[in-house]
Chains A and B, each alone.
Chain A
Amino acid sequence: MNKSVFLGALTVAGLAAGVAGAATVDDVKARGKLNCGVTTGLVGFAAPDANGEWTGFDVGVCRAVAAAVLGDPTAVEFVPTTGKTRFTALASGEIDLLARNTTWTFSRDVDLKFTFVGVNYYDGQGFMIPKELGVSSAKELDGATVCIQTGTTTELNLADYFRVNNMSYEPVPIETNAEAQQQFLAGACDVYTTDASGLAATRATFENPGDYVVLPEIVSKEPLGPLVRHGDDEWGDIARWTLNALIAAEEYGVTSANADELAASPTDNPEINRLLGTEGELGAMLGLEADWALNAIKAGGNYGELFEKTIGENTPIGLARGLNAQYKDGGLLYSPPFR
C-alpha cells in the first residue's frame, strides 16, 4: 500500500508520506510520530503556548499514547481540527487518534464508523447565566437568547430540551469558545451552554467569575473520549489500554514520580507489576515494548495527575473530579483489570 504521490515538483518536499493502511500502529512506528487530532484551542483541554507547545487534558492523552507506542511523549504531531473537519481527518487517515472532547454517541460509533476507545471525561451539557438575571433553574429560561457552539451535539440537546419543556429560545450559533465568551460577557446572549467542563473553564477566566452562575440542570450525557477508525482493532486496543493504564495507575497509586521506582523493584501487587511490564507479557500482546504503560504514565502522570495539572481544582479552571473520580471514590472511572 505504500504509495508515494507526487503532485508537481514544487510540493515534493512538503509531502507527508503518511499512509492510511490497515495497521495504524505500523504506520505510526514507521513515521516515528503520532498524528493526533485536537481542538484548535479550548482552555484546559488543548491549546498551544507561546513556544507552540501544546498542553491540556486531551493533549495528555495524545502524549500518553505516543509514549506507549514510540516511547517518546514528544513524538506527537498535533493536528488542530474543527467540529467540521475532525471526523473527516480521522476517516481519511490524516490523524491516527482524535482526542478532541468528542461525545461518544450511537451514530458516531455506528454510522460514522468510528471506535471510541473509552471515556476520558464524563461531561454533561449545562447552562451558565449572569447572576443578576436571577434565574435559578433552566426551566425558567423561556424566551432567552442562548449562545451555542456549533458543530457539536450541544445544539441538538438544546433543541430537544426546550422542545420537551415547551419553551422557546433564540439560538446564537458560534464557532469558537472565545467568541462565545465575548458575546456572553457583553450580554449579547443571556445564557451560554456547552459542556459543563467548558463552562467552568470559561467562567474561571472571567474578570469577575462570581457574577455568573452555572445552573444545576445538566441536560445531557456527554461522555467525551478519544476515538479511532473502525476496523483497526490492534490500534484501537492500544489507545484503549493506554487510557485504561492511566486510570488504573491512579487506582493503584502509580504516579509519574514513583513509576520508575516501582518498575525497578517489583512490588507485591501483581496488577502493578503487570501494568508496568515487570511481570507478564502484556506489552508484547499489544505489539509494544514491555514498558509501554510505564512510558505512558511517565508522559504526563496518571489520570489523576493529568487531571490535576490541566483542569483540576488547583488550576485556574478548577474542575472538581465529580463523576470523573475513581469508582472507589464514587466516580465512574473503572479500568478493566490488567491481566
Chain B
Amino acid sequence: MTTLTDPPAESFKLSMLVYDTRYRSYTFQILALIGVLLLFGWLTLNTLRNLADLGKVISFDFLGAPAGYDINQRLIEYDNQDTHLRAAFVGLLNTLLVAFLGCITATVVGVVVGVLRLSGNWLVARLMTVYVEMFRNVPVLMWIILAMAIMIESLPAPSAFRGDDPEATMKLFDSVAFTNRGVYVPEPLFSRGLGDLSIGGAFDISLDLIAIVLLLIGSIWVSRRIGRNADAVQESTGLRPRTWPKQLAVIVLPTVILLVVLGFHLGYPELKGFNFQGGTHMRNSLIALWLALSLYTAAFIAEIVRAGILAISKGQTEAASALGLRSNRIMSLVILPQALRVIIPPLISQYLNLTKNSSLAIAVGYMDITGTLMGITLNQTGRELETVLLGMLIYLLISLAISAVMNVYNNSVKLVER
C-alpha cells in the first residue's frame, strides 16, 4: 500500500480520500483489509479465550502419539501402534485411491451415457435419460448407502462358499470370489522378487513394481521411436511400413522376460478360516463408494458431454459424412475432439465434486481422511480444532492440485485463437 505512484499534491485534503478516484480505491481496500483483519482477530481472540476456558491448548503433539486403532484398508504398512499422523496418511491415500478410481470410471460411464442419450435408438436413449435423471435428483449420500446395502444384501457371505455343496462358488476358473465383504481377485506375486526400497524408513515401495514401470516406460519410448521413424518413411516415400508387429514386440517381449525372471505368478484367494486368504481384497466399502460416486458423477458428466456434443454445429457432422466417415468414426474423430473444449472446464469441477464427495465415505465405513483424521482420531484425542482444520487444509490442497493439473491439460487442448 506504500507504492503511491502519484505522491499527494500539496493541497491534500482528507476528503480526497473519499472523492478523489486516485485515493478512493486505496481507502476502500485499506478499510476492507482492516475489516477482515478485525474479523480474524476477533475470531482468534474468541478461540483463544474459549480454549483457555476449556483448559486446552492448540497443539499438534497428538499426531505423534500411537493411534491405537486398526484400519482395514491400508496402502502402506500400518498397525495400531503407529502414530495418528501415519493413520491420517493411510486415510489420505485411501481418499486419493477412491477419487482416482472414481474419476476414471465416471468419465468412461459419463461419456458413454452422454453419447447414448443422443442415440437414435429410442429405448436406449430413454433408458439413459431415466438413469441420468434418477442419479442427478437423489442425494449422493443415499446412493452411497444404497450401493453398500445392495452389496451387503445381494452377494453371498463367505460362509456360503463353505461345505461340500456350497451355495456360492468362485467365478472365472475359481480365481475371483464375489462376497458381501468385497471382491477377492488374484494378486501378482514374485517368487524371485527384488525386495523393497525403504524411503526414510517410513514407506516401502516394491522394487519389482519400480522395475516393471521403468521397463514399460522404456518400451513405450522405443515403440514411439519406431512409430516416428515410420512417419518419416511415409513422408519421404509415401508408403507406411508395417510397424505394429515391431511395436507390439518391443512392448510385450521385455516385459514378459522381466516377469519370468522375477518369477511372476498369481496368488489366488482361498477360503481359510473365517475369510478368504490371499489375493487382493477389494472391500465392499471401497466398491460401494467407488460405484456410487462414479455413477452419480457420471450422470452429471453425461449431461456435460451431451451439451458439448450438441454445441458442435451440425455442419461438422454433415461435412464428416460427406467425407465418407462412418457414424462412430464421425463421433470419435470429428465431434468428440471438438466437444472436448466445451466439456473440459465443467468436467474439472465434476472431478473436484467427486473428490469432495468421497468424504462421505464415513457413511459406509471406508477409512478415508475423514474417517481417520477427522473421525476416529478426533474422537479418541478430542482435538476438534486441530484435526478439522488439518483435514480442511488437506482437502483444499487436493482440490487445488486437481484444478491445477486439469487447467494445464485444458490449456493444452484449448483452441489456439489468433
Contact = CB atoms under 8 A, between A and B. Distances in A.
Whether A and B touch directly in their complex, counting CB atoms under 8 A apart, is answered as: yes
Given A186-B153, A188-B181, A190-B274, A163 B80 contact: yes
Interface in A13-32: none
Given A187-B158, A188-B180, A133 B72 contact: no
A133 B274 CA distance: 8
Nearest to A92: B50
Given A144-B275, A145-B275, A186 B157 contact: yes
B97 interface: no
B180 A186 contact: yes
If over half of A's interface residues share one DSSP class (helix, strand or loop), that class is named, otherwise mixed; here it is: mixed
Contacts of B382: 87, 107-108, 111-112
B55 A151 contact: no
Nearest to B79: A163
B378 interface: yes
Contacts of B285: 172
A156 interface: yes
A170 B55 contact: no
A175 interface: yes
A84 interface: yes
B193 interface: no
A182 B367 contact: no
A91 B70 CA distance: 28
A326 B90 CA distance: 47
Contact of A151 (B149, B160, B376): B376
A182 B365 contact: no
Nearest to A91: B54
B372 to A, nearest CB: 10
A188 B69 contact: no
Contact of A145 (B71, B152, B274, B376): B274
Contact of B69 (A141, A159, A183, A187): A159
Interface in A76-91: 83-84, 87-88, 91
Interface residues of B, number: 39
Nearest to A85: B384
A171 B70 contact: yes
B180 A88 contact: no
Contact of A175 (B362, B378, B380): B362
Given A144-B275, A182-B149, A188-B152, A169 B181 contact: no
A155 interface: yes
B371 interface: yes
Contact of B365 (A143, A160, A173, A230): A173
Interface in B271-305: 272-275, 277, 284-285
Given A173-B371, A186-B180, A143 B157 contact: no
Nearest to A172: B365
Contacts of A107: 382
B407 interface: no
Contacts of B367: 173
Contacts of A172: 72, 181, 285, 365
Contact of A170 (B68, B72, B149): B72
Contacts of A34: none
Contacts of B158: 187
A49 interface: no
Given A143-B273, A144-B275, A173-B367, A150 B379 contact: yes
Nearest to B382: A112
Nearest to B160: A187
A187 B379 contact: no
15 contacts: A84-B375, A84-B378, A91-B54, A107-B382, A132-B159, A145-B275, A151-B379, A155-B376, A159-B69, A159-B70, A171-B70, A171-B71, A182-B149, A187-B156, A187-B157
Interface of B: 54-56, 68-72, 80-81, 149, 152-153, 156-160, 180-181, 272-275, 277, 284-285, 362-363, 365, 367, 371, 375-376, 378-380, 382, 384
Given A143-B274, A152-B379, 7 more contacts: A112-B382, A169-B70, A170-B181, A171-B71, A179-B365, A182-B152, A187-B156
User: Nearest 8 pairs between A and B by C-beta?
Assistant: A187-B157, A159-B80, A173-B365, A144-B274, A143-B273, A151-B379, A186-B152, A188-B180
